Structure 1
Amino acid sequence: MSYDELKSVLVSLGIPEDDISPEASREEVGLDSIAVVELALVLRREKGVDVTEEEIGGTLTVADVAALVGARTPA
């Protein structure tokens, strides 16, 4: 999954597109604990990405989340 695909998922979760940038922290874009759970659920169920809430919660920036998701995306 690319950064742009992750950005699209984040927008679908209600995060304003203008708030999302690779350098933005999870907190800056509104990925609080509830949003992290929702993101992990969407990634697993709809995108087939095997990632946990804890792994997403361990990231610092949107770029870190994109790298994690990209590494876990099935080929």
Structure 2
Amino acid sequence: MTGDLVRILTDDLKLPAERLTDDASLDHAGFDSLAVVELSVLLTDRYGIDISDSDIRDAATLGRLDLLITSKRNGR
């Protein structure tokens, strides 16, 4: 995972760092429905990218979420 995502998850969403691995499911990492919404808003505010709540949930793992964010930031 990129450092940007790790910082958002630990600093802004207050998720436990020891659970943040590429293969961790969102549930295992500590996501709840509010965290999904907060992450969507943070990504729009900070990076100007639009990733819906359902896109985040569909990513299933933090590694896939990181790839989704990276591809959106790169305009793909």
- Fold conserved between structures, TM > 0.5: yes
Which runs of 4 or more aligned residues in structure 1 lie more than 4 Å from their structure 2 counterparts after TM superposition? none
Q: Which has the higher contact order (CA 8 A, sep 6+)?
A: 1
Aligned twin of 1:14 = 14
Q: Is the 8 A contact 2:36 2:57 kept in 1?
A: yes
Q: Deviation per CA, 1:2-40, whole angstroms, max 9, x where unpaired? A: 622111110121011111111111000111211100001
Aligned twin of 2:29 = 29
Percentage identity across paired residues of the two chains: 27
Extract unaligned runs of 5+ from structure 2.
Answer: none
RMSD: 1.5
Q: Write the distance in 2 (CA, Å) between the matches of 1:46 and 1:61.
A: 22
- TM-score, normalised with respect to structure 2: 0.86
- TM-score, normalised with respect to structure 1: 0.87
Q: Write the distance in 1 (CA, Å) between the matches of 2:37 and 2:4.
A: 18
Aligned twin of 1:4 = 3
Look up the SS of the partner of 1:58 in the other structure.
helix
Q: Write the distance in 1 (CA, Å) between the matches of 2:10 and 2:47.
A: 15
**Cα deviation, residue 47, structure 1:** 2.2
Q: Is the 8 A contact 1:15 1:30 kept in 2?
A: yes
